[in-house]
Amino acid sequence: DAKTTQPNSMESNEEEPVHLPCNHSTISGTDYIHWYRQLPSQGPEYVIHGLTSNVNNRMASLAIAEDRKSSTLILHRATLRDAAVYYCILSLGGGADGLTFGKGTHLIIQP
């Protein structure tokens, strides 16, 4: 499976935007980029996914580099409830597979 690299942790202030980077230099042409997050003591939660174009939903935006070797999850206005571990995951679109979770980025939000 193609691998992703994320910073271990990031810190941000409440009500400010947060940009969470992910490198995936070995991504293949059919790999989707998924982001999940896991709040303390909860199951993972789907955030957003994309293939080539930037994507927006009510939770976040996903900016994908033109060469697809990296992507950035953008939380436009972080709240304390966004404190979680964020996982960037590649998976083959069109088929259902087990997800490969790395260590993710531990996002700390300061009030």
Partner 1 sequence: NAGVMQNPRHLVRRRGQEARLRCSPMKGHSHVYWYRQLPEEGLKFMVYLQKENIIDESGMPKERFSAEFPKEGPSILRIQQVVRGDSAAYFCASSPPEVSGPTDTQYFGPGTRLTVL
The reply to whether 106 sits near partner 1 by the rule CB under 8 A is no
**Which 22-61 positions form the footprint of partner 1 (CB under 8 A)?**
32, 34, 38, 42-46, 49
Residue 52, CA distances (Å) to 16, 34, 41, 42, 46 in order: 26, 12, 33, 30, 18
| Closest distance of CB 104 from partner 1, Å | 7
**Which residue, among 84, 78, 81, 76, has the nearest Cα to 107 in the 3D structure?**
84
Residue 71, CA distances (Å) to 15, 42, 80 in order: 22, 25, 23
The reply to whether 95 sits near partner 1 by the rule CB under 8 A is yes
The reply to whether 100 sits near partner 1 by the rule CB under 8 A is yes
Among 53, 66, 81, 94, binds partner 1 (CB under 8 A): 94
**Positions that interact with partner 1 (CB under 8 A):** 32, 34, 38, 42-46, 49, 87, 91-104
